[in-house]
Amino acid sequence: MDQVTLGRTGLKVGVAGLGCGGFSRLGLATGKTEADAVALVKRAVDLGVTLFDTAAAYGTEGVVGQGLQGVRDKVVVTTKAMIHEGKERVAPDKVVASLEKSLTLLRTDRIDVFQLHGVRPADYDWAVSAILPVLKREQEKGKFRFLGITEGAVSDTKAEMLSRAVQDDHWDTMMLAFHMMHQNARKVVLPATRKKRIGTLVMFAVRNIFARPERVAKAMKDLAASGQVPKMLAEDPNPLGFLVHDGGAKDLTDAAYRFARYEPGNDVVLFGTGSIHHMEANIASLNRPPLPAADRQKLIDLFSHLIGVGLEGSGAPSPQR
């Protein structure tokens, strides 16, 4: 596994991080057993994965804790707590209670990176004024090492929250959405994270849209109809086929992971899965070289202006100018 330093945390981790939520939740959301999920975590360790990202809301902290028994000191564990439930904000003491429960489920006495989960733009100032001071006290007690924040990319497609957060010095890591047809972090987040050495965890590199070519074709039709991509892409049944060739990507998923991994400023690319075979393929992609420069540039030329495509669950586009 290729290694990277997670920003100013100094943590050395593999470039491929196992995301323990998403549509699969380590297979728990698709009919797999807890034993299957634990086996998946153990196999990830065997394959060189050293960063495991979970959250209280995922319901996977327990199986992650089981799977990492005996190797806890060799890996980095990141988890999260929500600061809102529906329209209501979560009280600071409940965030601390979530941290305590995470420590128990993960079978550890210290979390490497504790993150505020899916913070909405409207809640950012409150997170800083009400939640942050309380968490700092817990950090001083040794309950976690570094503090991170994650965006709610599905609703905050323009990364408004992270655009504000990067102006502050509170956050050691940030989790952001970035993929071939949603590249706006390059302009609004990554310049500042690179300058301040804030570690980045990348989500949605593949999501549903790049898992099946027919979803890309549908997205192109919708985008072409609104004048956001050339009409020729809507007329092509395989509009991203130019990425797959000798010397290029093996398939669309391979291209998506490699595009995200080699974006300057992206540290760890997260992948989610409930299948060992699928996991092995994802890790192989993230260990491959960058896409050919011409292919990467074509993706930038065609799609860098798009915002919010393919972030929601269905994989259909929610385009914005």
pLDDT at position 320 = 37
- Indicate the SS3 state at residue 16: strand
Tokens of 225: 């109809």
Q: E-strand spans in 54-97?
A: 76-82, 84-85, 88-89
Residue (of 218, 250, 189) closest to 316 by Cα position:
218
Of 15-24, 31-40, 47-56, 306-315, the range with the lowest mean pLDDT is: 306-315
pLDDT band at residue 313 using 50, 70 and 90 as cut-offs: low
pLDDT band at residue 211 using 50, 70 and 90 as cut-offs: confident
Please enumerate in sequence order all residues whose Cβ is within 8 A of that of 220, keeping only pairs 6 or more positions apart, or say none: 229, 233, 234, 236, 239
pLDDT at position 315 = 35
Which DSSP state fits 179?
Answer: B
Q: Which comes out higher in pLDDT, residue 313 or 285?
A: 285
- pLDDT tens for 68-122 read 999 999 999 999 999 999 889 999 999 999 999 999 999 999 999 999 999 999 9
Within 13 Å and on the Cβ side, how many CA atoms surround 170? 22
Give the predicted TM-score (pTM) of the model.
Answer: 0.95
Residue 50: is its pLDDT beyond 50?
yes
C-alpha distances (whole Å) from 316 to each of 207, 232, 239, 311 are 11, 19, 15, 8
pLDDT at position 241 = 95
Residue 126: is its pLDDT beyond 70?
yes
pLDDT at position 243 = 97
| Residue 234 contacts residue 220 (beta carbons within 8 Å) | yes
Tokens of 147: 């503090």
Q: What number of other Cβ atoms are within 10 A of residue 167's Cβ?
A: 9
Mean of pLDDT values over 184-196: 98
Give the Cα separation of 79 and 145 in Å (integer): 12
pLDDT at position 213 = 81
Tokens of 120: 């909405």
Give the Cα separation of 44 and 64 in Å (integer): 11
Mean pLDDT over all residues of the chain? 95
- The DSSP bridge pattern shows strands 111-119 and 144-151 to be parallel
Phi/psi of residue 151, nearest 5 degrees: -90, 155
Bridge partners of 268, per DSSP, are 201
Fold of 3-211+260-289: TIM Barrel (3.20.20)
Give the Cα separation of 72 and 49 in Å (integer): 12
Of 33-37, 84-88, 91-95, 161-165, the range with the lowest mean pLDDT is: 84-88
Domains of the chain by residue range: 3-211+260-289
